[in-house]
């Protein structure tokens, strides 16, 4: 069933972008006939290798570039409409920010571009800086002195300054350490819980798999697949049974039982992920009340 | 504007004549139409966004240490001002003001161009613009924010440089005034400089004067007698009178189908003369005196004999008659033909709007000279203007009548002949028979349109201006007429005047020994309201230097008066221009005058910013810098080309290159004409930076008139507003993701 239009956070029809050379001749078709609908409240993943058209799609949705053909609407308004930007947060691929301002100044500047009253802005800036893990010392330093991870965090803070309904994250975990990556993923989940729509653009598939409800995979500008993450990756002919505390004998008995039923099972011990191991070690060694983010440049 | 391009020629005349205004209107309407929605968003929130963007641009510039340029400029000014060689204290102050404001204008303009041209392309290149345009910010707000931000930076630079200029000049001026006081007290000042130095001491060196200029300068052979309608001008080629006309070429067409001026023209003039005694002949080689400072430089040893310095001045040049103009003597000889003239003669010329000679009128054959009748009566004389000359006449032209006999004073009688020279165009009937000529109506008198414009009287032009011949008696008098002047008496009930003239001298061998004294000029004031004439004041002008003298305020009461100047020194010629003598009506504080100059510079900086931001919306920054300079300097540059862009330059080039082949000549002529027309067209739509005269008034110690601020604001607004709208439209349609 097609959701009503006002339920669409993003909707594109035959969206196409062809880059031209100096003489106006077609140079490359970066996006070809994209028909896509992202519902409100879902976390949507835009996947694909480099040059597949992910960033082009995001730029088109934000009005940074103009479509060669087709249409795109964002929160019910044509893409690039200035008024709709009140409800959009955008974290670019790299943190393209004014490098001579400090953390606080940059958030205040971006806050002033929205209809946020002074009192709210005054409260929201430190809250956001806390939320992204920038301590008091870091927020007074110029952005040009920030490490890549710190720049990513302040970039995320500016994307959330207006409490947006739709957040577009372009490679959000680039430059983040595993803890930062985990925090980012947790944040995305928490945004979903607040009813926000998140469009996540990445080629780090594990990150996308962890947080996205639905994904599409683009390749050479064309949409290759679209659907629910679980549906797309589930091996329906494989069954996993997990349990704790079984003895070697019990395992052997179970294997023989299954063999008698005509099934040849592979019995292994599951492993944790390196990410989980890393986070556990860092958290165990971080003194209480301190951020795990270094204050010095990378 | 004349029809300039093939395209422009197709436009209606009303559009063509006001092309700049039409372009302004079209851009404004188109910009508003395209950006109506975004303009409507410029509410309080919109203005807050503009301010936020401007603050970031401002802060970025500060943190990039742009202001470090100001101490460098200050250091440069201090060094250069120490190297200057001024004529006197006032000149030292003026030169320093010029250095300061020149340095200020230069660093403001350069800084603004670099900042504004590089800002937007850099933000697009490093993608910072992504995080701004994806906020609820319109492209109009971005453009306005940038303009405002850089306007703030330029204002800050101007404030720093202004504060330095004010303090530095204040210190220098007070030190020099102390020095002047000491020198006056010790009595080492040459007599010719005492009045000027006292004036500096009283008025200060930094004052900003308001000056009033005379309606005009007239040079007569004799002082006009109020009751007599006669106006005398000297002979010997020295004096002349001019009558202005506005010629419509149609008036000069002899018959339908004939070319205007094809049959030539006839000039009718009414002149009388009186014999004079032996008079000093005009110098065969009048030579300008070199500039001699009235006051010895502070470092030079003071001399008790000021004339010693004057005596060393040597003639440096000879009078220049131009390649095609005969000297008066030669002209008289040729005009007289073989028969020596029995009576005084005149010559008649036709001059263009700039009072340069277009051609000579010749006597009606068989006469060889234009000879007058008996003395003391008005004689009607006639002369013919050649068709070649007549065909060139268009718009403002003058008839100039020159008295040739050195032993006569010529006169016109304004009661008998209010228009002492007439221009007559011959007319032919259908059968080719001569009809009565048509008189080209003389220009009306601006004060009474029913009367013809009165003639203006001039003497021969020297290096500096019209020459006022010196001598003990029977010498010409120069009259500056002031009307409704604003008289404000200063301390002592006097009103100051400024006189800047050029002194030229006959060869030293012709000069009597006693004439080595400084040039003396007698000044009297004739009050037209009261009919009173003041006592004579003797002033000692120096070549090309401003001197001051004061006149009792009661002599000027009512504000309608004539200032009469006569040179008393035999062999000296005082060169005068219309603005050589000015009345100082009031003074303003230097700080206020400096503020006005800085405001003019700021308005210029805002225009520079808008041009730079406009170009940077569609060009990379190096090309944007070049185009910005072209836009800013284009109008001025075309003006500097002068005659090279005047109509007819194509034919001139063909002649200069001696092209014989008609096809090639026509191709070259047309190409050059089109190029010249294109340059003219470009200059009409580009801003005129001469409307930002921040230096010239304050440097001369003159109060900057508010009208100059208004003109500068008009140029900034007139060009800035359309450019902001164009920049917005370009940016709105630009893909900001590279």
SS3 track for B5-49: CHHHHHCCHHHHHCHHHHHHHHHHHHHHHHCHHHHHCCCHHHHHH
Q: Tell me the pLDDT tens digit for each residue of B205-247.
A: 888 888 899 998 999 999 888 788 999 999 999 999 999 999 9
Contacts of B131 in chain A (CB under 8 A): 90, 92, 96-97, 110, 155, 158
According to DSSP, the β-strands at A166-170 and A88-91 are parallel
The pLDDT of A54-79, averaged and rounded, is 94
Cα dihedral B293/B299/B303/B307 (nearest 10): -20
Residues of A with CB under 8 A from a CB of B: 59, 62-66, 82-83, 85-86, 88, 90, 92, 94, 96-98, 100-101, 105, 109-110, 112-115, 155, 158, 162
Q: What is the pLDDT of residue B272?
A: 95
The confidence band for B680, taking pLDDT boundaries of 50, 70 and 90, is: confident
Residue B658, judged by CB atoms within 10 A of its CB (0-12, 13-18, 19+), counts as exposed
How close B111 gets to chain A, by Cα (Å)?
19
Q: What is the pLDDT of residue B543?
A: 85
Q: How far apart are the first and last CA of chain A?
A: 49
- The model's confidence at residue B511, banded by pLDDT at 50, 70 and 90, is low
What are residue B660's DSSP bridge partners?
none
User: pLDDT tens-digit profile of A32-53?
Assistant: 999 999 999 999 999 988 888 9
Question: Which pLDDT belongs to residue B673?
Answer: 87
Mind giving me the DSSP string for B619-664?
Answer: S-HHHHHHHHHHHHHHHHHHHHHGGGGSTTHHHHHHHHHT---HHH
Q: To the nearest 10°, the Cα dihedral for A273, A276, A277, A282?
A: 160
**Do A96 and B135 lie within an 8 Å CB cutoff?**
no
Q: Among B48, B64, B127, whose Cβ lies nearest the Cβ of A92?
A: B127
pLDDT, position B299: 35
Alpha helices in A117-228 (DSSP H): 118-131, 136-139, 148-159, 178-193, 205-211
Gap between the Cα atoms of B619 and B727, Å rounded = 11
Half-sphere exposure of A199 (CA within 13 A, CB side): 32
pLDDT at B612: 97
Separation of alpha carbons B613 and B619, rounded Å? 10
Note the pLDDT tens digit of each residue in A91-110.
998 878 999 999 999 999 99
Could you tell me how many residues make up chain A? Answer: 298
Banded pLDDT at B328 (limits 50, 70, 90)? low
pTM attached to this predicted model: 0.76
What's the number of CA atoms in the CB half-sphere (13 Å) around residue B442? 24
Q: Does B473 touch chain A (CB under 8 A)?
A: no
Q: Do A90 and B131 touch (CB under 8 A)?
A: yes
- Which residue from B59, B60, B131 is facing A110, i.e. has the nearest CB? B131
Of B612, B609, B122, the closest CA to residue A98 belongs to B122
* pLDDT value at residue B611: 97
Q: Note the pLDDT of residue B288.
A: 40
What are the pLDDT digits (tens) for B625-635?
999 999 999 99
pLDDT of amino acid B641: 83
Q: Which of B51, B63, B133 sits opposite A64 (nearest CB)?
A: B133
Confidence check: pLDDT of A286 > 80 = no
Q: Which two tokens stand for residue A25?
A: 């001749």
| Residue B605: closest CA among B39, B94, B161 | B161
> pLDDT tens across B8-60, in order?
566 677 676 777 788 888 888 988 888 888 998 889 999 999 999 999 999 99
CB contact under 8 A, A63 and B64: no
**What number of residues does chain B have?**
738
For residue B288, give the 3-state DSSP assignment: strand
CB contact under 8 A, A96 and B64: no
Cβ separation A113–B138 shorter than 8 A: no
Question: Cα(B367)–Cα(A143) distance, rounded to whole angstroms?
Answer: 94
Average pLDDT value for residue range A122-150: 90
Please give the average per-residue pLDDT across A230-250, as a whole number. Answer: 83
pLDDT band at A16 (very low <50, low <70, confident <90, very high): very high
CA B733-B736-B738 angle, 5° bins:
130
10 Å CB burial of residue A232 (0-12, 13-18, 19+) is middle
B611–chain A nearest CA distance, Å: 24
Handedness of CA B637, B641, B644, B647 (dihedral sign): positive
- A21: confidence class by pLDDT, cuts 50, 70, 90: confident
List pLDDT tens digits, range A187-219: 999 999 999 999 999 878 888 888 999 999 999
Amino acid B618: pLDDT: 93
Q: Using CA atoms in the order B670, B675, B680, B686, what is the torsion angle rounded to 10 degrees?
A: 160
What integer pLDDT is reported at residue A290 of this predicted model?
Answer: 63
| Residues in chain A within 8 Å Cβ distance of B130 | 62, 64, 90, 92, 96
Distance from CA of A89 to the nearest CA of B (A): 8
Residue B2: band (very low, low, confident or very high) from pLDDT cuts 50, 70, 90: very low
pLDDT digits (tens, 9 = 90+) for B389-415: 898 888 899 999 999 999 999 999 999
Q: What is the mean pLDDT of chain A?
A: 87
ipTM value, please give it: 0.85
Q: Sign of the C-alpha dihedral, residues B522, B526, B532, B534? A: negative
Report pLDDT digits (tens) over B259-305. Answer: 888 889 999 999 999 998 644 444 434 444 433 333 333 333 333 33
Query: Strand pairing of B421-428 and B357-363?
Result: unpaired
Question: Cα(first)–Cα(last) distance of chain B, in Å?
Answer: 43
B43, closest residue in chain A (CA to CA)? A115
Based on the number of CB atoms within 10 Å of its own CB, is A40 exposed (0-12), middle (13-18) or buried (19 or more)?
Answer: middle
Lowest pLDDT segment from A90-99, B302-311, B668-677, B704-713: B302-311
CB atoms within 10 A of CB A74: 26
User: Residue B468 in contact with residue B581, Cβ under 8 Å?
Assistant: no
Residues B521, B568: Cα–Cα separation, whole Å: 6
Q: What's the pLDDT at B596?
A: 96
Paired with A38 in beta bridges are A10
pLDDT (average), residues B697-705: 89
CA distance to partner chain A, nearest, from residue B121 (Å): 14
pLDDT digits (tens, 9 = 90+) for A233-242: 777 788 888 8
Q: What is the dihedral of CA B482, B488, B494, B500, to 10 degrees?
A: -50
Would the pLDDT of A265 be above 50? yes
- Separation CA B202–CA B190 (nearest Å): 18
C-alpha to C-alpha distance for B241 and B78, rounded to whole angstroms: 51
Mean pLDDT score across all residues of chain B: 85
In B210-227, which positions are buried (b, 16+ CB within 10 angstroms) versus exposed (e)? Answer: bbbebeebbbbbbbbeee
Please, which residues have CB within 8 angstroms of residue A138's CB and are 6 or more apart in sequence? Answer: A103, A146, A150, A293, A295
Cβ-defined contact of B45 to A65 (cutoff 8 Å): no
Question: Of B282 and B640, which is predicted with more confidence?
Answer: B640
- Looking at per-residue pLDDT, the higher value among A269 and A290 belongs to A269
């Amino acid at each position: 069933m097609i959701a009503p239009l006002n339920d669409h956070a993003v909707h594109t029809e035959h969206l196409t972008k062809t880059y031209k050379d100096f003489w106006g001749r077609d140079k490359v078709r970066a996006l070809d006939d994209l028909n896509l609908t992202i519902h409100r409240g879902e976390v949507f993943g835009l996947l694909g290798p480099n040059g597949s058209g992910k960033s082009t799609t995001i730029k088109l949705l934000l009005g940074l570039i103009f479509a060669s053909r087709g249409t795109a609407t964002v929160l019910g308004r044509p893409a690039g409409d200035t008024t709709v930007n009140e409800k959009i947060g955008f974290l670019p691929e790299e943190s393209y920010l004014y490098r001579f301002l400090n953390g606080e100044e940059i958030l205040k500047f971006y806050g002033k571009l929205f209809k946020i009253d002074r009192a709210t802005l005054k409260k929201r800036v430190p809250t956001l800086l806390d939320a992204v893990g920038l301590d008091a010392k870091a927020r007074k330093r110029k952005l040009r002195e920030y490490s890549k991870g710190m720049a990513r965090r302040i970039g995320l803070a500016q994307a959330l300054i207006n409490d947006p309904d739709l957040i577009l994250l372009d490679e959000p975990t680039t430059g983040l350490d595993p803890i930062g990556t985990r925090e980012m993923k947790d944040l995305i989940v928490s945004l979903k819980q607040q009813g926000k729509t998140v469009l996540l653009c990445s080629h780090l598939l594990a990150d996308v798999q962890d947080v996205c409800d639905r994904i599409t995979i683009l390749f050479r500008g064309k949409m290759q697949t679209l659907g629910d993450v679980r549906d797309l990756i589930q091996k329906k002919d494989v069954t996993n049974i997990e349990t704790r505390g079984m003895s070697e004998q019990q395992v052997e008995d179970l294997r023989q039982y299954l063999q008698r039923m005509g099934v040849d099972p592979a019995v292994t011990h599951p492993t944790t992920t390196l990410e989980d191991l890393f986070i556990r070690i860092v958290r165990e060694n971080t003194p209480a009340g301190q951020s795990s983010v270094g204050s010095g440049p990378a | 504007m004349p029809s300039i391009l093939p395209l422009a020629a197709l436009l209606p005349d009303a559009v063509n004549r006001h092309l700049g205004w039409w372009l302004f209107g079209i851009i404004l309407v188109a910009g508003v139409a395209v950006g109506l929605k975004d303009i409507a968003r410029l509410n309080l929130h919109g203005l807050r966004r503009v301010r936020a963007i401007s603050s970031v641009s401002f802060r970025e510039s500060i943190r990039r240490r742009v202001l470090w340029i100001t101490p460098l400029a200050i250091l440069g000014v201090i060094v250069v001002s120490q190297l200057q060689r001024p004529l006197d204290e006032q000149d030292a102050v003026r030169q320093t003001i010029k250095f300061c404001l020149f340095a200020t204008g230069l660093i403001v303009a350069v800084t603004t161009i670099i900042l504004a041209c590089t800002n937007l392309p850099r933000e697009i290149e490093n993608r910072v613009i992504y995080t701004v345009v994806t906020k609820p910010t319109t492209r109009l707000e971005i453009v306005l924010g940038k303009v405002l931000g850089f306007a703030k930076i330029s204002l800050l630079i101007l404030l720093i440089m202004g504060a330095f200029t004010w303090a530095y000049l204040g210190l220098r001026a007070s030190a020099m005034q102390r020095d002047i006081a000491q020198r006056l007290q010790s009595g080492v000042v040459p007599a010719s400089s005492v009045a000027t130095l006292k004036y500096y001491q009283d008025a200060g060196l930094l004052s900003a004067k308001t000056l009033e200029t005379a309606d005009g300068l007239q040079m007569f052979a004799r002082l006009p007698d109020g009751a007599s309608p006669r106006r005398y001008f000297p002979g010997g080629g020295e004096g002349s009178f001019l009558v202005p006309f506005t010629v419509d070429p149609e008036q000069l067409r002899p018959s339908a189908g004939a070319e205007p001026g094809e049959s030539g023209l006839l000039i009718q003039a009414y002149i009388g003369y009186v014999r004079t005694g032996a008079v000093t002949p005009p110098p065969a080689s009048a030579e300008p005196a070199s500039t001699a400072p009235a006051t010895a430089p502070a470092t030079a040893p003071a001399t008790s004999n000021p004339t010693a310095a004057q005596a060393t001045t040597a003639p440096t040049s000879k009078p220049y008659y131009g390649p095609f103009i005969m000297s008066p003597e030669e002209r008289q000889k040729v005009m007289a033909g073989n028969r020596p003239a029995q009576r005084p003669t005149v010559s008649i010329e036709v001059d263009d709007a700039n009072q340069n000679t277009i051609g000579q009128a010749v006597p009606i054959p068989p006469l060889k000279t234009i000879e007058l009748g008996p003395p003391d009566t008005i004689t009607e004389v006639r002369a013919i203007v050649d068709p070649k000359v007549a065909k060139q006449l268009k718009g403002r032209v003058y008839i100039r009548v020159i008295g040739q006999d050195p032993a006569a004073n010529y006169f016109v009688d304004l009661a008998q002949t209010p228009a002492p020279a007439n221009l007559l165009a011959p007319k032919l009937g259908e059968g080719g028979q001569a009809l009565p000529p048509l008189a080209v109506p003389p220009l009306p008198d601006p004060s009474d349109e029913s009367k013809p414009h009165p003639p203006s009287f001039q003497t021969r032009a020297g290096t500096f201006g019209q020459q006022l011949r010196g001598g003990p008696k029977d010498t010409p008098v120069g009259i500056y007429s002031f009307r409704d002047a604003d008289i404000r008496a200063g301390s002592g009930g006097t009103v100051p005047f400024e006189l800047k003239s050029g002194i030229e001298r006959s060869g030293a061998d012709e000069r009597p020994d006693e004439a080595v004294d400084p040039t003396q000029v007698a000044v009297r004031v004739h009050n037209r309201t009261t009919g009173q004439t003041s006592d004579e004041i003797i002033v000692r002008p120096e070549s090309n230097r401003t001197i001051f003298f004061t006149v009792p305020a009661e002599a000027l009461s009512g504000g309608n008066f004539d200032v009469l100047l006569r040179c008393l020194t035999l062999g000296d010629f005082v060169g005068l221009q219309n603005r050589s003598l000015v009345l100082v009506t009031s003074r303003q504080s230097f700080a206020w005058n400096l503020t006005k100059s800085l405001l003019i510079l700021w308005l210029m900086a805002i225009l520079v910013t808008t041009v730079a931001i406009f170009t940077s919306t569609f060009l990379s920054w190096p090309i944007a810098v070049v185009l910005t300079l072209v836009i800013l300097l284009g109008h001025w540059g075309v003006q500097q080309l002068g005659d090279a862009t005047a109509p007819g330059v194509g034919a001139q080039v063909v002649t200069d290159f001696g092209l014989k082949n008609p096809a090639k000549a026509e191709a070259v002529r047309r190409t050059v004409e089109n190029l010249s027309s294109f340059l003219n067209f470009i200059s009409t739509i580009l801003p005129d930076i001469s409307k930002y005269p921040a230096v010239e008034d304050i440097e001369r110690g003159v109060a900057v008139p508010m009208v100059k601020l208004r003109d500068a604001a008009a140029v900034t607004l007139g060009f800035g507003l359309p450019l902001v709208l164009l920049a917005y439209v370009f940016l709105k349609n630009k893909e900001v993701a590279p």
